[in-house]
């Protein structure tokens, strides 16, 4: 038989093990006799193992238990390893011999390897959990998207109707210009929301194509900071750029790098309180350039950190949230950095601010050739490393940054 058959005495010690022990545990039957099998049971499963044998012996009923056993895993210089396999043990008491009136009987058990089945069950449970999380995240995303689309659409419809009836409302030229400007701004906001969704869709489907070219990253970083300077000033924030003078030239998609930096800077400004500070810095490592966006904002909780960068996920989403946005900014950054063969690192904690670091290869074409192309599944967070914010990182109150009047 392929299953291992065991015979246990009244006190649970092993009296016999079939030759299948060699296939199941890579051990001879003699190694398992006495307490040899018990010592191979994982410590946390030993109470269940002993309980199943005891109840089968006392009650005379069939018992079934799943537990982990340690087989012999031998190799050069390794000796006996600590690897465990999952087994199912079905045990039943033997019939009493004539004249035997003892309370307990001997037990026979059949032990079967179910490691593959347990792995399949775990994979199904994980897939179900991921599907439920994705479904819930998409529901929250649709709720936030309805807000993002409805607000500017209401402005477009309302002000256009007023312009249609300008004679009845007696609108002057100044009001018509204001209404036209509001319609223009709302339309551009709608276009930006749609473009974000389309970019995310292209990245996930693998249809987003980057166009690498050699350029100086310092100019792109400063340009993005200049574009965000007005918004930072309106929010009463200090926006600083710290770049070394010898930052090397890189081969990457300039437009993609600009989009990544603008997304990160926008998030940093959006979630930093007045009087705070946002810093953009860069440094070179071996074969890479690391661009960091550091803020002294509200930070991100430990429960939300592992899922950052996942599509449709937003930390602390509510219908009355104070900040606008689709929540796809980090997902797009994650996808674009993956297309370059790089990675994103996030450090954050509630009340400790957030630091997002982009590790970009100096030559993305060389990196892609070495990796065999871009990652196939950009929906996963394999290129994102999330870390809790160190306790020693100061917030804006500790940095001496004063609020402007």
Full DSSP string of 248-299: PPEEE-HHHHHHHHHHHHHHHHHTS-TT-EEEEEEEEETTEEEEEEEE-S--
What is the distance between the alpha carbons of residues 405 and 403, in angstroms, rounded to a whole number? 6
How open is the CA angle 369-343-207, to the nearest 5 degrees? Answer: 60
- Domain chopping of the chain, boundaries: 4-113, 133-205, 213-388
| pTM of the model as a whole | 0.55
Domain 4-113, CATH: 3.30.450.20
Domain 213-388, CATH: 3.30.565.10
Token pair 């006996």 in the structure block, residue: 80
What is the distance between the alpha carbons of residues 395 and 401, in angstroms, rounded to a whole number? 9
Enumerate helices (H) and strands (E) in the chain, giving the number of each.
11, 13
Percent of the chain with pLDDT over 90: 31
Contact criterion met (CB below 8 Å) for 323 and 270: yes
pLDDT tens digit sequence for 303-335? 666 656 555 455 554 434 444 555 577 888 888
Q: How confident is the model at residue 353 (pLDDT cuts 50, 70, 90)?
A: confident
State which fold the 133-205 domain adopts. Helix Hairpins (1.10.287)
CA 237 from centre of chain: 30
Provide the token pair at 321: 């949230």
pLDDT tens digit sequence for 145-204? 676 677 788 888 888 888 888 777 777 888 888 888 888 888 887 887 787 777 777 777
Contact criterion met (CB below 8 Å) for 357 and 334: no
Full DSSP string of 336-348: HHHHTT-EEEEEE
Provide the token pair at 115: 């490691």
Contact criterion met (CB below 8 Å) for 220 and 256: no
pLDDT tens digit sequence for 110-136? 999 999 999 999 999 999 988 887 787
What is the distance between the alpha carbons of residues 384 and 309, in angstroms, rounded to a whole number? 7
């Amino acid at each position: 038989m392929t299953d291992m058959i065991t015979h246990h005495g009244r006190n649970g010690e092993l009296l016999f093990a079939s030759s299948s022990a060699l296939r199941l545990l890579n051990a001879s039957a003699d190694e398992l006799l006495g307490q040899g099998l018990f010592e191979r049971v994982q410590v946390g499963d030993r109470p269940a193992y002993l309980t199943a044998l005891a109840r089968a012996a006392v009650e005379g009923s069939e018992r079934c238990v799943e537990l982990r056993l340690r087989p012999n895993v031998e190799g050069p210089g390794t000796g006996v390893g600590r690897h465990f396999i999952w087994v199912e043990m079905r045990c039943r008491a033997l019939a009493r011999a004539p004249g035997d009136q003892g309370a307990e009987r001997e037990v026979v058990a059949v032990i079967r390897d179910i490691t593959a089945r347990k792995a399949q069950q775990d994979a199904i449970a994980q897939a179900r959990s991921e599907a439920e999380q994705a479904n819930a995240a998409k529901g929250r995303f649709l709720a936030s998207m309805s807000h993002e689309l409805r607000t500017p659409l209401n402005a477009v419809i309302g002000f256009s109707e007023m312009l249609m009836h300008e004679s009845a409302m007696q609108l002057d030229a100044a009001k018509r210009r204001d209404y036209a400007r509001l319609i223009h701004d709302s339309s551009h906001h709608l276009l930006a929301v749609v473009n974000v969704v389309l970019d995310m869709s292209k990245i996930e489907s693998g249809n987003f194509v980057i166009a690498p070219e050699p350029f100086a990253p310092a100019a792109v970083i400063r340009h993005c900071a200049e574009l965000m300077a007005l918004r930072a000033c309106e929010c009463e924030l200090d926006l600083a750029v710290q770049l070394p003078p010898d930052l090397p030239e890189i081969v990457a998609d300039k437009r993609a790098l600009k989009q990544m930096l603008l997304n990160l800077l926008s998030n940093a400004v959006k979630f930093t309180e007045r009087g705070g500070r946002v810093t953009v810095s860069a440094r070179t490592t071996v074969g890479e350039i690391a661009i960091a966006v550091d803020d002294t904002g509200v930070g991100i909780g430990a429960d939300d950190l592992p899922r950052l960068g996942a599509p449709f996920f937003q930390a602390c989403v509510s219908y009355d949230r104070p900040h606008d946005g689709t929540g796809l900014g980090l997902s797009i950054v994650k996808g674009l950095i993956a297309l370059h063969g790089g990675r994103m690192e996030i450090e954050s904690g509630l009340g400790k601010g957030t630091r997002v670091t982009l590790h970009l290869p100096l030559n993305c074409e060389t990196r892609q050739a070495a990796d065999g192309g871009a990652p196939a599944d950009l929906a996963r967070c394999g290129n994102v490393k999330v870390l809790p914010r160190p306790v020693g990182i100061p917030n804006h109150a500790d940095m001496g940054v004063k609020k402007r009047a």
